[in-house]
Amino acid sequence: MKNIFRTILFLLVVSPISLFGQIKFGHINSNELLSKMPKVIEAKKKIEELGKSYEDQLKELRSEYDKKLAAYQAGQATWPEATRKSKETDLLQLQERMQSFNQTANEDIQKKQEEYLSPIVNQVKEAIKAIAKEGKYAYIFDSGVGSVLYAQESDDITPLVKKKLGLE
């Protein structure tokens, strides 16, 4: 419902303007563009390597936890109360370490994604702006992630942006 309201509002704003002059629309498929950029491919590879490293470390912690849990389950019935409580505390602390590590790893991966991809996205935005100004486009839509219900035919500026970025 919200999208329909936005579309109607957009048409009400654009229709009067188009009576006085031709408005030029363009679109770009950002998914296609980004998937072809060597810098994006390199950044994704680095992020995947970092994620794999964290995953391996988390597997080691999980293995340690599983071993301690198995030992606890095997011996809990025969241990004195103090030993049993000490082992339970160790297991809880190890669980907390795993959760903390997982959270820190996820935060670090998000920071690295931002660090690696932000300059690339800014470069693409600048190229799109330049193409929009050169081609006198009033609006550029992203067909790769957008949700346009209807649009008149528009120019696909993806090849122009690729050329501007030196991808072709």
Domains of the chain: 24-164 (3.30.910)
The whole-number average pLDDT for the span 5-34 is 65
Whether 100 and 34 have beta carbons less than 8 Å apart is answered as no
Residue 166, phi-psi category: left (phi > 0), alpha (psi -120 to 50), beta (remainder): left
Whether 100 and 106 have beta carbons less than 8 Å apart is answered as no
pLDDT tens-place string over residues 29-43: 888 889 889 999 999
pLDDT tens-place string over residues 43-66: 999 999 999 999 999 999 999 999
Give which of 9, 13, 14 is closest to 25, Cα–Cα. Answer: 14
Give which of 111, 114, 6, 130 is closest to 54, Cα–Cα. Answer: 111
| pLDDT score of 18 more than 50 | no
* pTM more than 0.75: no
pLDDT tens-place string over residues 121-159: 999 988 988 888 888 888 888 888 775 534 567 778 888
